Amino acid sequence: MPFDALEADLEARRAADLYRRRRILGSPQGAIVDVDGRRLVNFCSNDYLGLASHPDIIAAAQAGAARWGVGSGASHLVCGHSAAHEAMEARLAAFVGKPAALSLSTGYMANLAAITALVGRGDAIFADKLNHASLNDACQLSHATFKRFPHNDLERLERLLATTEARRRLIVVDAVFSMDGDSAPLAEIVRLAERYDAWVYADDAHGFGVLGDGHGSAAGIASPRLIYMATLGKAAGVAGAFIAAEPVVIDYLVNVARPYIYTTAAPPLLAEAVLASVELIEREHWRREALAAHIARLRALLSGLLPSQTPIQPLVVADNAAALALSQRLRDDGLWVSAIRPPTVPTPRLRICLSAAHEAGDITRLATTLASLLDKQ
């Protein structure tokens, strides 16, 4: 048969507890979701502020569809760049304290676009070992020399910077590490970039909307060397991503970044939805306060979590089978927590994601159920 090799590969994944399948949701994102016909408390979502089905954002998307239609019709450089995209980019740039911004359809694309445009052969990338897969793919694709330093090890980073002879030098980090929930020391990294004439690319997919009173992980860091990227499908509750930087950087990306140039612009109605979301992120401080209270509650009730002050609270477990078994037991009890396994992470874990949409009782229930399951293991 033509695909025997693929079947054998899948079989090996099953045997190693690495086989993946999708679960089917029958409800919008929220603290409670309908999954494969059952109601579960959702601890998997990146909808950290509970905005993914907020009525103001839904109304903005509906009004956006009425005003702009659905399809954008073309790429941004042909005829797909609407006044809604333009207004969203200006709002996002100002919101994160940068002079200019560029929007893309997804965070994965934003990373491919920026990194492959900024560096190439003869240049060097210095990347944290725990960076997100999309950053690693972008770094590989750029053809720049790709050097990785141990997680948050700035001494190693400095040594690499001090000895490079590359033409352009780009430091690439997650601002919040997506599987561990800890942060990169961005201010110190920017200082190193200044000392060694490098640029910094920070992916703040999990910090935007949450950290820096919503303005993100780079709030208060004024350096023009910092190129800031965040996604809009997580705390912002919509879809897409943006890169915020000096105008020359944005202009360069518009002219050079292939994943930006050769793709259809996102629907303008999404830009209208993002504008409504930024209003809520700016105004509704209570969402971040509720989230902080949930994080504190979980950490007080459950021991063994990795150190993290963000909504991502990972619990490292013995092996893939244990991760899957715990996730299954929790699901039997109506609690949905994802098991994350290699190659996504080096060590298998439960990745608990908290949201302002949760209630205090949800957190208590998760902590007590999980503690008793761990006792029984």
In the complex with ligand PLP, which residue's Cβ is closer, 206 or 297? 206
Residue 376: CB minimum distance to ligand PLP, A: 33
Among 29, 42, 134, 313, binds ligand PLP (CB under 6 A): 134
CA neighbor of 122 nearest in space, from 172, 174, 170, 192: 170
Among 81, 98, 132, 358, binds ligand PLP (CB under 6 A): 132
Q: Does 203 bind ligand PLP (CB under 6 A)?
A: yes
Catalytic choice (72, 105, 178, 183): 178
Q: Does 339 bind ligand PLP (CB under 6 A)?
A: no
Residue 229: CB minimum distance to ligand PLP, A: 8
Following DSSP, what letter does each residue of 23-42 receive, concatenated?
A: PPB-S-SSSEEEETTEEEEE
Q: Does 45 bind ligand PLP (CB under 6 A)?
A: no
Considering only the stretches 106-114, 282-290, 310-318, 356-364, report the one whose residues sit in contact with ligand PLP under the rule CB under 6 A.
106-114
Q: Does 107 bind ligand PLP (CB under 6 A)?
A: yes
Residue 155: CB minimum distance to ligand PLP, A: 24
Considering only the stretches 2-10, 104-112, 152-160, 217-225, report the one whose residues sit in contact with ligand PLP under the rule CB under 6 A.
104-112
Q: What distance in Å separates the CA atoms of residue 197 and residue 182, rounded to the nearest whole number? A: 26
- What would the two tokens of residue 21 be? 């399948």
Residue 135: CB minimum distance to ligand PLP, A: 7
48 contacts 311 by C-beta, under 8 angstroms: yes
Q: Does 47 bind ligand PLP (CB under 6 A)?
A: no
Q: Does 103 bind ligand PLP (CB under 6 A)?
A: no
Among 29, 142, 178, 310, binds ligand PLP (CB under 6 A): 178
Catalytic choice (76, 85, 98, 234): 234
Q: Does 308 bind ligand PLP (CB under 6 A)?
A: no
Taking the alpha carbons at both ends of the chain, their separation in whole angstroms is 43
Following DSSP, what letter does each residue of 303-343 receive, concatenated?
A: -SBPS-SSSEEEEE-SSHHHHHHHHHHHHHTTEE-EEE-TT
Q: What distance in Å separates the CA atoms of residue 216 and residue 203, rounded to the nearest whole number? A: 10
Nearby residues of 333 by Cβ (< 8 Å), 6 or more positions away: 369
Among 43, 108, 199, 336, binds ligand PLP (CB under 6 A): 108
Active site residue 206: yes
Residue 342: CB minimum distance to ligand PLP, A: 17
Length of the chain: 377
Q: Please tell me whether residue 147 adopts helix, strand or coil conformation.
A: strand
85 contacts 268 by C-beta, under 8 angstroms: yes
Active site residue 151: no
Active site residue 234: yes
Residue 56's CB: how many other CB atoms inside 10 A? 13
Residue 255: CB minimum distance to ligand PLP, A: 23
Q: Does 97 bind ligand PLP (CB under 6 A)?
A: no
326 contacts 194 by C-beta, under 8 angstroms: no
Catalytic choice (206, 215, 294, 358): 206
- What would the two tokens of residue 175 be? 């601002």
Residue 163's CB: how many other CB atoms inside 10 A? 8
Residue 222's CB: how many other CB atoms inside 10 A? 9
Binding residues for ligand PLP, rule: CB under 6 A, are 106-108, 111, 132, 134, 174, 178, 203, 205-206, 231, 233, 241
